[in-house]
Amino acid sequence: MSWLALTSLVILTSCGGYSERSYKGDGTLRDHGWYSGSGRYTLDLGDVDLSSRGVRNYVLRNLPPERMAVGLGFRTGLPTGAVLHLKLEHPAGTLIDEAGPLSEWLLSGSRDFTTFVYCTGVGDSWSETAGTAWGCVFKPRAAEEYRLALEVVEPGGPGTTARLIVE
């Protein structure tokens, strides 16, 4: 097999048939390319005001078939005092139902943010089976619709905003 044919075959098989145009739902999905590893997709659901109580609802349809984390991106420091409730549902039931102080969420890096935080599950492992979750990390099923709700239970202080991100 020639080098060109082999390269073409690798590229075509790594794409897996999913395209960012396949996503139908709220926010903007970006595909950073098959070479980007575990951070291939970023779904940006926009700014979230953490300085006042309230619930924001989102619909996510036909997510990529990759393990993803629902979290918040901050360009500056993490606000103190905010208590959040995050819920992700699909037709078969609830995948994520996590509530607690933002200060207890796991701090991580992100492609676009100084700080990315998400809630972790109990224990130290998760399943790679589609339709399962561990904390705020989940693996979507192909072509399903998910409903995401983020509730600010206790505000994080005046002017506190973040970006709701699924990556």
Domains, the chain: 19-166 (2.60.120)
Nearest to 130 by CA among 82, 90, 79, 71: 90
Q: Tokens at residue 3, please?
A: 């080098």
For the stretch 19-46, pLDDT in tens is 878 899 999 999 988 776 667 899 999 9
| Burial tier of 66 (Cβ tally within 10 Å: 0-12, 13-18, 19+) | middle
pTM of the complete model:
0.84
CA dist 150 → 48, 95, 100 (Å)? 9, 14, 12
Average pLDDT, the chain: 85
Q: Tokens at residue 142, please?
A: 């192909």
Paired sense of beta strands 28-31 and 106-108, if any: unpaired
For the stretch 39-80, pLDDT in tens is 789 999 999 999 999 999 999 999 998 999 999 998 777 777
For the stretch 70-112, pLDDT in tens is 999 987 777 778 999 999 999 889 999 999 999 999 988 766 6
